[in-house]
Structure 1
């Protein structure tokens, strides 16, 4: 098939696209002499769209508006698949320098969803533009800061997504920076344009280009590392500390003791513990003498054997140990890096290596680690770009990008790539770091290299504990490919990410509304066999129909306006849609539980916390007396069903302060033979429980009012217990109460008064009466 086209905007231009996808991808794009797209295949656009828009000298323009300054040509790649690809070249035809940036395919119409630069920022200008909210700052891969993306509806059945990628190698007389290109007169630069159809919301166009096509960084993605069972543990890790080997929480020279175990135990209480500890004995001292980085590990106090003991301590607390690797160590004592790293891993039994200054790993490093033991993770300092993700399964969002963007699209590219946001304690309160990491479904790396342990650190560690508990207990949702960012909301400045799983769906919410928020916010699909729970505040919630759609209420805490624009702004919430697996009912003081799935049920007095211990039972049927296990606690009881640490369902019950609860226990006595002295048989029967109360200053039980009870036949004493009977009990049993004040004070010399032997005994406590009943083989009424 022969393809014909003309490189001009002055006549109608048809771009023919050959694709093996056939009808699933565009074949023809028609462009008018005004550089606008009028039709795609047989779809006539109701409003023509520009093939591309951009900023020229920081002003938004269309190609037809600046023909005297810049020439734009399009050259399709005929046999490209999947989708369509063309090379779009910009040539400076003027006699002055031109600043070109923010190149967006199909323009920036208000109804489009698109990504491009916004404002002025050296590291973080990329934003997602949506018609229903202010632009959202986002993180893109390090090799794609300048990319342009757009998604828009073409018809009710098809939508178009397009991607622009800069080709650095094509630059002629052009200076390239992170976001901008300065073209000298006669200079030129090309971008690659990719176009395809998608179905659904704009996020599905994003998914196609980012998650399925990997931004066209690679022709095919090698997932072999991600498929390895021994490496999957890192994707379910959420808290990491990196510390220097001279940190007193590692080793204190003053007392000559190692304190890493104490550090880990404190962390377990505050935030559930560290999934990873990284030890760093090299930079910045590396190079002061001829010792190389591996020598510095060998020379630590206690040597390799002591590090191995500390690794054992970590493993006993379900924590992994990483060692540092500095690939730039070239001027010290010569030692093969691959063999040196393998030697450290072998002798310490460590679980991973932190690749300093690297955003990728190498086959040689991973194979060297694999030759020592399984489970060893390569953890890059930078975030791997799509082509490098094939060789490494974890990395960090570097703190060079201080005050990071709200949304990380790098997580969207490959959700099972383990990401940790770097945060530092010494600078300032960092609640926003924890909150945005939680919103994006990934972990936090606490870098504590710099000295300083602020007084607010423990309080915010507890906040980290709340976010990390949800991430850990729902981790398979946060690594699933069908994650959807930024679903529509009824209010701006509050954002929702959707994390569907096989049976439950999690929604993470992040708000920058200082006064807090409490209202219906986002649309959901409902099902008769599912229910919604706010698992941040731990309360069950009810959807509401608004204009024929079902919406969920959200609640976020208020924060001081002075924190806006700082690392302490923001508040979060989290909603879960659970299947109905847990049946619970609170009747008086008894909590009835029934669950035929899962392996354990946890009951919490108040909200779950790493600083508390729940009452735990196996899955099944239970009747739990709350007073017996939780004492006089009044408030919220959270019931959670788990399977291997994963939250399956949650119910919440509440006992209001002052609620009267039945505390007596039913005891059984030997069966009566009908000949008991001075006793009568009360026949079996039913009755309706009723109560007549006085004023309500003292509350009375009301939960069983009007309930019909069936009472079996029983025997009851005809007369009250007499002084003589109680005296016989004392002589026979030798009973003495713990508190003797006023005990039988109407007796004289320890005996009943003469003539009162058959009077009812008085001046005895409840405990004294129970002791008599037990001795007599009877019981008190309940």
Structure 2
């Protein structure tokens, strides 16, 4: 022991502050844990840094021995058990190379007019654009969760058609060979508490609808208790934490996300190295260019998260990246058994600077190399040198052609072209290609006839349109219950309160005078005179509408959910009506000869021409709004007019903190969203991820829309406007 301590200290000193007892290549701490460093000689160095160091065979052999030793020792330290990887029911994870994270509100996935899921349309689009997917992560929760007290289980149960329709939708994905995951949010401790412990609740839901896995949102490893609960429920699940997990968790979390800091020289994924059957899906949601993601994935023999609809913000994949994804996925699926090889050799030496390779030997004598070109220029030269073995034939799998090796001493030199920032794959076979390999080569040859550099890489946000609100018949004076808003000029200044996205193009919405969506908006407007309801529409108002019109929505799940027997609870006459969709609100407005307000009309009625922060002034007043509700359950709205101190300069009341209020709707090709104004009393605690309140006049909420049944909420109501003559 006395001799060990100085040796350990020496190792720490030589390895630097990120060094570790059992390796010089695997840094410890925070996000560094995800990756294993390359051989030091591969790191480019400028002349003033001493210049590049030539890598020798001894350098590589020492590095490979070091990380192999680390893996062997690490498995002993964590008591590694590979039983879950041996379970054939979970073997699908090893080929789940392309996973999409899909917002359930995506318009390619659900048709609210027909009232049905359109799984085939969604999958056909992905197949056309980048070759299809192996798994889908359905996302029904954030950013809408927290608008009321529905928890993450309720979000699934409240999808259109309920759990019966969800189960059928999952079966549609399975029919197309696509596995289905849902997220779990252990930060969801502010909404309605579940009736059972979370592991059991998640397992029971997964069994009922037939899904295959769970993504652990924001989790640094999904605890073993969740796997055990799924096993007990008779439906083993693949768990996929988002964050850095302890090495022990590799034994039961068969998948993970890779959220890397990319470097010119790639790195080796720590979890893939610990267990080569572990599947990583690289997630880089905001990147406009996916080259780094695909390079790191192909080098490590893992997959990626094809994530375009990011919380209702479209970050579409370019044509160049889509085609690169198609090619890489085709190769990985074709080489899948080899890409789990326990004898994987990352950083197999290459003959070209900036080209990095992994060698994947199989037990049947086959060997594959996956290569990436990190250079901005193309190459056509000898790239690999391999020991001469007369029995082997070599194929440029990327281009689908056989190679003619050149002898050099006891080695064979393999030359083939590699595109700029492109990919390569070589396959060595102890004979002729079998039918599957021949078919793969045929597909790749046809696929690579066009160079990736000839495809567009430009990114642009999706065009977005404001849904028209038809004008009403004009009124000469304020109808009963309405307030006149005089004509006037004002500066319409507002920002969206999306939690993520920063100020990137595509965040929030695009007003008619803007060329693209953005978070911060300012525009000088001249508004004609109009009338607006003094209070939100009440239960009594809405009951009169129903009695007079006979209105009943086609999609009626959750319609007036808090009413019983066709009417509202006793004493609720003057409370704002809720559990009404935007479509329900529009129907009421049309019956009343009114319409929903444009957002800028709502804001002008709330602030007047002076730009005040709140309807009553620039300083917050507790007496001007309902008392906040910070418990796990939301309460009914206060009666209208209960907080007269909150009136606007024009006398409009209950604008802030009463109920969220429907205004405009925006659409692009993939997303529908409503702008909500005013906020509500409900403030679920314990997480920053809940739907943020928008109490100020210069703030709005953006609620993603899917179907009336799901859009309805306990805390969303509305008020109407009428045009003036």
Q: 2:429 aligns with which of 578, 600, 603?
A: 578
Name the residue aligned to 1:205: 66
* 1:135/1:439 CA distance change after superposition, 3 Å: farther
Whole-angstrom distance in 1 between the partners of 2:265 and 2:44: 14
Within the alignment, does 1:130 sit opposite 2:37 as a pair? Answer: no
Within the alignment, does 1:432 sit opposite 2:292 as a pair? Answer: yes
Whole-angstrom distance in 2 between the partners of 1:370 and 1:215: 24
Whole-angstrom distance in 2 between the partners of 1:477 and 1:350: 27
Q: 1:533 aligns with which of 373, 380, 395?
A: 395
* 1:427/1:201 CA distance change after superposition, 3 Å: closer
Quick check: 1:270–1:610 contact (8 Å CA) kept in 2? Answer: no
Name the residue aligned to 2:206: 345
Whole-angstrom distance in 2 between the partners of 1:515 and 1:546: 26
* 1:385/1:544 CA distance change after superposition, 3 Å: farther
- Deviation per CA, 1:717-769, whole angstroms, max 9, x where unpaired? xxxxxxxxxxxxxxxxxxxxxxxxxxxxxxxxxxxxxxxxxxxxxxxxxxxxx
Name the residue aligned to 1:180: none
Name the residue aligned to 1:483: 344
Whole-angstrom distance in 1 between the partners of 2:19 and 2:289: 37
Shift of 1:522: 2.6
Quick check: 1:360–1:391 contact (8 Å CA) kept in 2? Answer: no
Counterparts of 1:450-489 in structure 2 under 5 Å? 450-453=311-314, 457-489=318-350
Name the residue aligned to 2:386: 524
* 1:207/1:554 CA distance change after superposition, 3 Å: farther
* 1:130/1:364 CA distance change after superposition, 3 Å: closer
Shift of 1:557: 1.1
Name the residue aligned to 2:375: 513
- Deviation per CA, 1:403-462, whole angstroms, max 9, x where unpaired? 7972223122211111111133x6412133123211210011123324455675344222
Within the alignment, does 1:296 sit opposite 2:155 as a pair? Answer: yes
Whole-angstrom distance in 2 between the partners of 1:603 and 1:543: 18
Q: 1:493 aligns with which of 354, 358, 376?
A: 354
What's the secondary structure of 1:263's corresponding residue? helix
Shift of 1:236: 1.5
Whole-angstrom distance in 1 between the partners of 2:157 and 2:337: 39
- Deviation per CA, 1:643-676, whole angstroms, max 9, x where unpaired? xxxxxxxxxxxxxxxxxxxxxxxxxxxxxxxxxx
Whole-angstrom distance in 1 between the partners of 2:443 and 2:187: 53
Name the residue aligned to 1:683: none
Name the residue aligned to 1:543: 405
Quick check: 1:270–1:611 contact (8 Å CA) kept in 2? Answer: no
Name the residue aligned to 2:102: 243
Name the residue aligned to 1:386: 247
Q: 1:221 aligns with which of 71, 77, 80?
A: 80
* 1:404/1:516 CA distance change after superposition, 3 Å: closer
Shift of 1:223: 1.6
* 1:475/1:299 CA distance change after superposition, 3 Å: same
What's the secondary structure of 2:339's corresponding residue? coil
Name the residue aligned to 2:698: none
What's the secondary structure of 2:38's corresponding residue? strand
Name the residue aligned to 1:409: 269
Quick check: 2:36–2:268 contact (8 Å CA) kept in 1? Answer: no
Name the residue aligned to 2:256: 395
What's the secondary structure of 2:346's corresponding residue? coil
* 1:456/1:388 CA distance change after superposition, 3 Å: closer
What's the secondary structure of 1:115's corresponding residue? coil
TM-score, normalised with respect to structure 2: 0.54
> Runs of 5+ in structure 2 lacking a partner?
47-54, 451-725
Shift of 1:200: 5.4
Shift of 1:489: 2.4
Within the alignment, does 1:376 sit opposite 2:237 as a pair? Answer: yes
Counterparts of 1:15-414 in structure 2 under 5 Å? 15=3, 51-52=10-11, 54=13, 101-103=17-19, 114-115=24-25, 127-131=37-41, 134=44, 201-210=62-71, 212-214=72-74, 217-218=77-78, 220-253=79-112, 256-335=115-194, 336=196, 337-398=198-259, 401=261, 406-410=266-270, 411-414=272-275
Whole-angstrom distance in 1 between the partners of 2:339 and 2:118: 33
Whole-angstrom distance in 2 between the partners of 1:600 and 1:573: 17
Quick check: 1:124–1:405 contact (8 Å CA) kept in 2? Answer: no
- Deviation per CA, 1:465-509, whole angstroms, max 9, x where unpaired? 110111111111111110011122233221111111122111111
> Runs of 5+ in structure 1 lacking a partner?
6-14, 18-28, 30-34, 38-49, 61-99, 107-112, 137-151, 162-198, 559-569, 583-594, 613-782
Deviates more, 1:534-543 or 1:463-472: 534-543
- Deviation per CA, 1:682-727, whole angstroms, max 9, x where unpaired? xxxxxxxxxxxxxxxxxxxxxxxxxxxxxxxxxxxxxxxxxxxxxx
* 1:455/1:323 CA distance change after superposition, 3 Å: closer
Name the residue aligned to 2:304: 444
* 1:325/1:36 CA distance change after superposition, 3 Å: closer
Whole-angstrom distance in 2 between the partners of 1:258 and 1:550: 55
* 1:455/1:205 CA distance change after superposition, 3 Å: closer
Q: Which protein shows a greater Rg?
A: 1
Name the residue aligned to 2:445: 607
What's the secondary structure of 2:90's corresponding residue? helix
Whole-angstrom distance in 1 between the partners of 2:34 and 2:276: 21
Whole-angstrom distance in 2 between the partners of 1:278 and 1:203: 35
Whole-angstrom distance in 2 between the partners of 1:554 and 1:363: 47
Quick check: 1:271–1:610 contact (8 Å CA) kept in 2? Answer: no
What's the secondary structure of 2:288's corresponding residue? coil
Whole-angstrom distance in 1 between the partners of 2:223 and 2:7: 45
Shift of 1:201: 4.9
What's the secondary structure of 2:193's corresponding residue? coil
* RMSD of aligned residue pairs (Cα, Å): 3.9
Whole-angstrom distance in 2 between the partners of 1:224 and 1:126: 25
Shift of 1:276: 0.8
Quick check: 1:127–1:135 contact (8 Å CA) kept in 2? Answer: no
Whole-angstrom distance in 2 between the partners of 1:254 and 1:511: 47
* 1:317/1:581 CA distance change after superposition, 3 Å: same
Q: Which structure has greater helix proportion?
A: 2
Whole-angstrom distance in 1 between the partners of 2:331 and 2:87: 25
Whole-angstrom distance in 2 between the partners of 1:125 and 1:277: 25
* 1:395/1:268 CA distance change after superposition, 3 Å: same
The higher relative CO (CA closer than 8 Å, separation ≥ 6) is in 2
Shift of 1:370: 2.4
* 1:117/1:281 CA distance change after superposition, 3 Å: closer
